[in-house]
Structure 1
Amino acid sequence: MTKLVRSALIPVWLVLVVATGISWYLGVDHGSGSPVTASTVILVVAFAKVTLIGLYFMELRHAPALLRWIFLGWSGVACAAVVGIYLAS
């Protein structure tokens, strides 16, 4: 169990922390360009984080392939729908 924590969960946790920092940086208006672009990147980063949490912390990477692919499909479709609705509005 210790090997698993060292080899998989810690790097994923660090990626989540960095992704949160990126979202924060873009969200507090640091002059990063267009607000629409910043908001779109923040939404995509949020869904990437959802996917990582589902796969690594909810153990869906070890789930049956069908369940894993349903989750990944839902995550992708939901991300595309939310970003599409945001850009269309």
Structure 2
Amino acid sequence: MIMRALLLHRLSAIWLLLVLATVASWEIGHGLGISDHRLASVAIVVVAMIKVRFVALDFMELRDAPLAFRVAANLWTAGIAAGLSAMILTA
């Protein structure tokens, strides 16, 4: 009964999503055979920033924080993703 409650908890589902996103990142980098390494790198960065957002909102409990904190975290995540993507694509 306790195990079922743990598996159905929101954080457990998010943890599973994070694990699947990690596998997806690895697959993008090694298995899918994307010929342009820059596009693969940008895809991996985007997946990583999605993971960062989930960690910040759910494991750092920003989901229930004041709006200003949530907006700042989301803007920071989007800014880092955009900056890294721009650096990758212009290299």
- Structure 2: give runs of 5+ residues left out of the alignment: none
Kindly indicate whether residue 13 of structure 2 is the aligned counterpart of residue 11 of structure 1: yes
Aligned counterpart, 1:21 = 23
User: Would you say how many aligned residue pairs link Structure 1 and Structure 2?
Assistant: 88
- Structure 1: give runs of 5+ residues left out of the alignment: none
Alignment partner for residue 45 of structure 1, among 44, 47, 55? 47
Q: Give structure 1 regions of 4+ aligned residues with deviation exceeding 6 angstroms.
A: 2-5
Deviations along 1:58-80, one digit per CA (max 9) or x if unpaired, are: 00101111111111111111110
- Measure, in 2, the Cα distance between the counterparts of 1:68 and 1:17: 23
Kindly indicate whether residue 63 of structure 2 is the aligned counterpart of residue 67 of structure 1: no
1:47 CA drift (Å)? 0.6
Bigger mean CA deviation after superposition, 6-15 or 65-74: 6-15
**Cα 1:53–1:5 shift into 2, 3 Å:** farther
Aligned counterpart, 2:84 = 82
Q: Sequence identity, in percent? A: 36
- Measure, in 1, the Cα distance between the counterparts of 2:32 and 2:75: 33
- Measure, in 1, the Cα distance between the counterparts of 2:6 and 2:68: 24
Aligned counterpart, 2:60 = 58
1:51 CA drift (Å)? 0.6
